[in-house]
Amino acid sequence: MAVDSVLSSPLGPPACEKDAKALRFIEEMTRNADVVQEKVLAEILTRNGQTEYLQRFKLGGFTDRLTFKSEIPVITYEDLQPEIQRIANGDRSHILSAHPISEFLTSSGTSAGERKLMPTIKEELDRRQLLYSLLMPVMNLCVPGLDKGKGLYFLFVKSETKTPGGLLARPVLTSYYKSDHFKTRPYDPYNVYTSPNEAILCPDSFQSMYAQMLCGLYEREQVLRVGAVFASGLLRAIRFLNLNWKQLTHDIRTGSLNPRVTDPLVRECVARILRPDPELADFVANECAKESWERIITRIWPNTKYLDVIVTGAMAQYIPTLDYYSGGLPKACTMYASSECYFGLNLNPMSKPSEVSYTIMPNMAYFEFLPHDPNSPGFTRDSPPKLVDLADVEIGKEYELVITTYAGLYRYRVGDILRVTGFHNSAPQFRFVRRKNVLLSIDSDKTDEAELQKAVENASQLLREYNTSVVEYTSFADAKTIPGHYVIYWELLVKDAAHSPSDEALNGCCLAMEESLNSVYRQGRVADNSIGPLEIRVVKSGTFEELMDYAISRGASINQYKVPRCVSFTPIVELLDSRVVSVHFSPSLPRWTPERRR
């Protein structure tokens, strides 16, 4: 029930006193966005002014925006590579940050095929936790009674490595789940999970998922929300249930745990809830054995009020499948974050996915916005870009996000394109438009045009002995299979029909493509099982000409026509599919180890 109106917030009546405090904080930050931003920049520049990086530029001790903008260059990851490499190799001097770099966060964005390494400092954990602490108070405004049950969240840690200099390198969520901030979080009735920490922290993805699913089934009546970080993760959990329900219901029936779960900590925590429950086992088995899995989520967890998953950006492709499995439950996209920095939250989390806007929290970092014009040639040293401050962006315009963080990124281009949809107080709200240069994405992988091109080139080497070449290609992220997978359409020129490439050779091409793709893709294939085997669909000769005719009939200019290297528009995919002469899949897994190749 809402608390006393004395605590009332412009966002709505808070559910409890703790929520009132969080909502007041959001109000304070968003009302004073520009002042907070000025303060954040001054703080960052004051504490890091003596770092090697900032000393290179003539700030002269000034910490104001004007000096900052005129002296500090706008950069990308590639520009920072030498500094990052030195830190990774063990140089502990104050290169980027006056505070010690505590670890590297491995972004799903890649550079030369490997995950980008983002330096971070200890106190950033507090900032992340602060943003997390704002999510439920906002959600409670939209969905009452979430303290009366639990959340079934499928959360996972991923493998970590050490850099040559001994710093840990791991994904930001792995770092967060392994931190005391998460492990020893105080009890909060609005944030009770069915998954025990030990299950979340188990590095083996099968055992982790198995334990989390089993606990979620035992507590099916208490579950009020079902979630994962990204939509692809929740679908993977559904697929897991589909593949393992017989063993899971066997465990529930007998009160014994699948011997494949060997991690002693996981066995111990599951033992605390494990009991023979033949009635529950019958119920789950009966639902899972039905031919149709439509609404399976609400059938098994009937009190689910919403799905908590990100379905904006590349994840929008999963909305129809999620709707199918959940009977169209609301999908809450609660936050917008990255390894570099957590950016902000959705103040209207029950809005339709197509209407989701994120409000950037001005206390998280110093934010600037590079006006995005897809037709402009970019900028040079002689014509530096004019970046706009957080409070000065204009509704309807698109910008690329540029950040300056406490951990030592200065005017760093994140690569996300955002559109301003409105303001909450003086803080702008943004629709996530897309990530720059991403052609294909199934889970957290991001494959760009150059990577795809290189993969096609490498794979087509295998066709040389057949005197065959790839004359055209395009791609499609097939989100209908679980897990989703890359489909590459190839039009071949077979010069000697009597000696055309064998099935085996073309299957080999699929694997060769996978071997050429970046490490995030290969990790998804090998360790996370979040991406299915790559598929090549060979199309009839002349198909790409038909594709061009189709584009021209829809108004494309014949002079400027370029073969799209990725397609998603249904009529085009249908046209391609209707011309397929053979399909081929990767016969095995590509190589991947947690160690970086360089």
Query: Which residues form the interface with ligand AMP (CB under 6 A)?
Result: 107-109, 172, 310, 312-313, 333, 336-339, 414, 416, 432, 435, 444
Residue 359 and residue 427 in contact, taking contact as beta carbons nearer than 8 Å: yes
Q: Which are the contacts of 289, defined by CB distance < 8 A and separation ≥ 6?
A: none
Nearer to ligand AMP, 299 or 435 (CB): 435
Cα–Cα distance, 333 to 345 (Å, whole number)? 9
Choose between 406 and 432: whose C-beta lies nearer to ligand AMP: 432
Cβ of residue 106: shortest distance to ligand AMP, in angstroms? 8
When the beta carbons of 32 and 530 are compared against ligand AMP, the nearer one is: 530
Measured from the CB of residue 580, what is the shortest distance to ligand AMP in angstroms?
32
Please state the closest distance from residue 114 (CB atom) to ligand AMP, in A. 13
Separation CA 100–CA 407 (nearest Å): 9
Beginning with the edge strand found earlier in the chain, give each strand of the sheet holding 342-345 in spatial order.
335-337, 342-345, 358-360, 427-435, 412-424, 398-404, 366-371, 388-389
Query: Considering the complex, what minimum distance in angstroms separates the CB of residue 395 from ligand AMP?
Result: 20
Least distance between ligand AMP and beta carbon 108 (Å): 3
Could you tell me if 304 and 291 are in contact, meaning their C-beta atoms sit under 8 angstroms apart?
no
Q: What type of residue is 528?
A: D
User: Rounded CA gap, 564 and 561, in Å?
Assistant: 9
Closer residue to ligand AMP, CB minimum distance, 398 or 416 = 416
* Closest among 518, 331, 338, 534 to 435, alpha carbons compared: 338
Nearest to 245 by CA among 274, 277, 282, 198: 282
Q: DSSP secondary-structure letter at 589?
A: P
CA atoms within 13 A on the CB side of 52: 12
Q: Please answer whether residues 307 and 226 qualify as being in contact, where contact means their C-beta atoms are separated by less than 8 angstroms.
A: yes
Is residue 153 within 8 Å of residue 211, measured between CB atoms?
Answer: no
- Please say which residue, 125 or 310, places its beta carbon nearer to ligand AMP: 310
Residues 6+ apart with CB under 8 A from 393: 369, 399, 420, 428
Q: How far is the CB of 6 from ligand AMP (least distance, A)?
A: 34
Of the pair 357, 460, the CB lying nearest ligand AMP is at 357
Shortest distance in whole angstroms from residue 12 CB to ligand AMP: 22
Residue 232 phi/psi, 5° resolution?
-60, -35
In angstroms, give the least distance from the CB of 77 to ligand AMP. 11
Instruction: Specify the residue, 109 or 533, whose C-beta has the smaller distance to ligand AMP.
Output: 109
Least distance CB 217 / ligand AMP (angstroms): 28
Nearer to ligand AMP, 338 or 447 (CB): 338
Quote the DSSP letter at residue 390.
G
The amino acid at residue 598 is R
Of 300 and 414, which has the nearer Cβ to ligand AMP?
Answer: 414
